[in-house]
Amino acid sequence: MRLAERFNKPEYLYRPRQALRRLAQAVLPEPEIADVLLPWGLRIRARPSEDLGRAIWRLGVYDLTLSEAIWRLLEPGEIAIDVGANIGYVTSLMAARSGSTGCVVSFEPHPKVFAELISNIESWRTQPIAHITAMELALSSKSGIAFLEEPSDFQRNPGTARVATDQVSHVQISTARLDDIPLNSGKIDLLKLDVEGHELEVLLGGRKLLETGIIRDIIFEEHSRSFTSPVASLLESFGYVICLLTRTFTGPLFVTKEKQYPLISYVPPNFLATRRLDRAVARFKSVGWHVLRPKVVRS
């Protein structure tokens, strides 16, 4: 990481107490499990030995650009879906932002990771946040049985488990189509999609929802950083405008394919597909990191 990038940490500038915590961590032994208070008032149990847990422990948040985009795009009372929920970091953010009148549905197929997700969700039950439904499923293009491959770095980063093409030494899981998931509401306001290369299959299993325009905003990971990837092209064919999510020190940016944008190596490659470009533009106008100074939930 370049020297300038080491100091590009609004996570500390906007939350000075987190900077002090980080200084204390430098002289303390790393715990096996850390109980971290997130900026929006919920606590999450994470493992600092894992990539996600280390970021949460050190910075107080994970993927600031993604977190800010979710905070700005989602409103109180809305419906959100977290596909590839891991231990529940994004789920917690969605639930706090959409509030007690909102709803969050989370999907995590790996049984070990799902158990940690459930443990975190249970710890939030007394908080005035959205109703959370967690499903031990992998969304895909068809319902049935599949297998998860655990890469060599799985112990360091459990979020890298992905749907495999063979059945050798893998974890058996259940799959379902997004179109077949019962929705209490006739809409999905925000869907976050991070499934290690299986994004296209998930969307193909939600064709009916895409065709009818029920899903307003979709945030998806695309490692190619291409505006013409199969996922981006599919979403464009259903009427979505594709924007890359990036950032400056003073706040998030989303840029369309016609515009230049700053390339920051450590910002994960997330894109926004939206059916309401005008709304998204308005939501991203103001500077600053709102997610670092939110109105926190109170028990």
Give 244-291 pLDDT, tens digit per residue. Answer: 999 988 999 888 887 766 667 677 889 999 999 999 999 999 999 999
pLDDT at 226 over 70: yes
pLDDT tens digits, 106-149: 999 999 999 999 999 999 999 999 999 999 999 999 999 988 87
User: Against a cut of 0.75, is the pTM above it?
Assistant: yes
Residue 262: both structure tokens together = 């700053």
- According to the model, what pLDDT value does residue 183 have? 80
| Environment class of 134 (CB within 10 Å of its CB; exposed 0-12, middle 13-18, buried 19+) | buried
- According to the model, what pLDDT value does residue 7 have? 54
Q: Who has greater pLDDT, 119 or 165?
A: 119
158 pLDDT band, cuts 50/70/90, is low
273 vs 271: CA distance, rounded Å:
7
Domain segments of the chain as ranges:
63-292
pLDDT at 95 over 80: yes
How would CATH label the architecture of 63-292? Answer: 3-Layer(aba) Sandwich (3.40)
154 pLDDT band, cuts 50/70/90, is low
